Structure 1
Amino acid sequence: MEDEFPKKRNVRPVEKSNLPIITLSVLVLLVLAMLYVGYEYISDSSSNSEELTSVVVDPNPETELAEPVEEEPQPITSTEKTERPEPVKEKVKEVSASSIGGEQITHSVKSGETFSSIAARYNLKLETLKGLNSSVSDVKAGTTKLKVQVKTIHTVGPGDVLRVVAEKHGVTKDAIMKANGKTKDFAERGEKLIIPFPQKK
């Protein structure tokens, strides 16, 4: 007598694969990495927006502009052709390190850095950084070294995580990471950390 439920022949074995889970995990990590890089780019460019948003307001708004007067072109003489006025260089008011306080460090300019990006990194005003380096007119990667004032230099001790160091000096953890060029919240024992000023100087 045959069984009521005959055995199934050629049953396909069930395979358990972790490939979809691994693929999904990799995609999620890529999206998070792209969001993080985008956030860093936006926050870096927004810290430099101070220069772009400063507007000079005319103290006398009631004064009317005079209509432009058209002048006839004058013939150029031979002496005018050879004499060219030298470009006017912007005078930078020199700033002394003692007036700011803190400690002075030397920053070697890297590729892509400007006065404004370096000032933002160490939480300094642009005019302060230029005043500390009044002899430097243009920054060049690899050759230019700038004097920078910071609050202090902290040597990492046992139990010093960045959050604790930030609280100890009254600055944010992000400000310490930015000043030290860190992308990860990690500091090794004995490492010297640059502590920027809490407010722009």
Structure 2
Amino acid sequence: MEDEFAKKRNIRPTEKSNLPVVTLLVLVLLVLAMLYVGYEYISDSSSNSEELTSVVVDSTLSETTVGEPVTDEPLDVVETEKAEPITKDPVAEKPAVSAKETKPTVSAASLGGQEITHSVQSGETFSSIASRYNLKTETLQGLNPGVSDVKSGVTKLKIQVQTVHTVGPGDVLRVVAGKYGVTKEALMKANGRSKDFSERGEKLIVPFASRK
């Protein structure tokens, strides 16, 4: 009796657990999710391939000949332009008129005063000579239209000045300059003087009071 009682006392009560069922359900759900994701990926790939195959390649691009310009103009207009030879404009080909031909002439009468002749010295130019006699460079060139370049010891230029004064008693440079309305410095420059000195009977070139 004691043995039977001991066996009945040692028997463990049976426990019912739902863990295997839950695990099975989780696995089934994972499999279904993986199948769904795979189906979506396959469907996207097939749609992308269809879009790529639906693109139409423009065959006209490959037909363009190398070297021919692409233009929107009608074909007949392009052919006409090719057929017509390019003619040169005779006006455009006409050589430019030289500066010597277009150089305006200036008459001595329009300036007034007295005409003298200047022999070009070394280092002198149209600009420096014009400045010496209080003339504009254009005026000096207009008085000498046949001269294109000045050369030392060779070229002689026509110069228009206010007058040529003969020095008399008491005619110092300051007095002569005041008589004709020019500065003493301008009078000295026109006569190539570096000192305030003049001799009786000497002829002084008097430039214009204002630049002509």
Q: TM-score, normalised by structure 1?
A: 0.57
Aligned residue type for 2:152: A
Structure 2 counterpart of 1:89, one-letter code: S
1:125 to 111, 122, 136: 136
Q: Deviations over 1:44-99 (max 9, x none)?
A: xxxxxxxxxxxxxxxxxxxxxxxxxxxxxxxxxxxxxxxxx977521210010000
| Partners of 1:179 and 1:169 in 2: CA distance | 14
Match of residue 210 from structure 2:
199
The residue number in structure 2 matching 1:185 is 196
Q: Give the aligned partner of residue 115 of structure 2.
A: 104
Match of 2:149 in 1: 138
SS of the residue corresponding to residue 124 of structure 1 reads coil
For 2:152, what is the secondary structure of its paired residue?
coil
Q: Secondary structure at the match of 1:149?
A: strand
Distance in 1 between residues matched to 2:97 and 2:107, nearest whole Å: 24
2:98 equivalent in structure 1:
89
Instruction: Give TM-score scaled by structure 2 length.
Output: 0.54
Task: Output the amino acid matched with 2:158.
Answer: K
User: Cα gap change, 1:165/1:110 in structure 2, threshold over 3 Å: closer, same or farther?
Assistant: same
- Cα gap change, 1:113/1:87 in structure 2, threshold over 3 Å: closer, same or farther? farther
C-alpha distance in structure 2 between counterparts of 1:89 and 1:200, whole Å:
27
Q: Number of residues paired by the alignment?
A: 118
In structure 2, the partner of 1:152 is 163
Note the C-alpha offset of 1:149.
0.2
Q: Provide the C-alpha distance between the structure 1 equivalents of 2:114 and 2:145, rounded to a whole number of angstroms.
A: 18
> Pairwise CA RMSD of aligned residues?
1.6
Gaps of 5+ in 2: 1-93
Q: 1:115 corresponds to which residue?
A: 126
**Which residue identity is paired with 2:193?**
K
2:172 is aligned with 1:167 = no
4+ residue runs over 3 A deviation: 85-88
Taking a change above 3 Å as real, the CA distance of residues 130 and 165 of structure 1, as seen in their structure-2 partners, is same
| Unaligned 5+ runs, structure 1 | 1-84
Distance in 2 between residues matched to 1:154 and 1:182, nearest whole Å? 15
Q: Percent identity, please.
A: 70
Question: 1:23 — aligned with what?
Answer: none
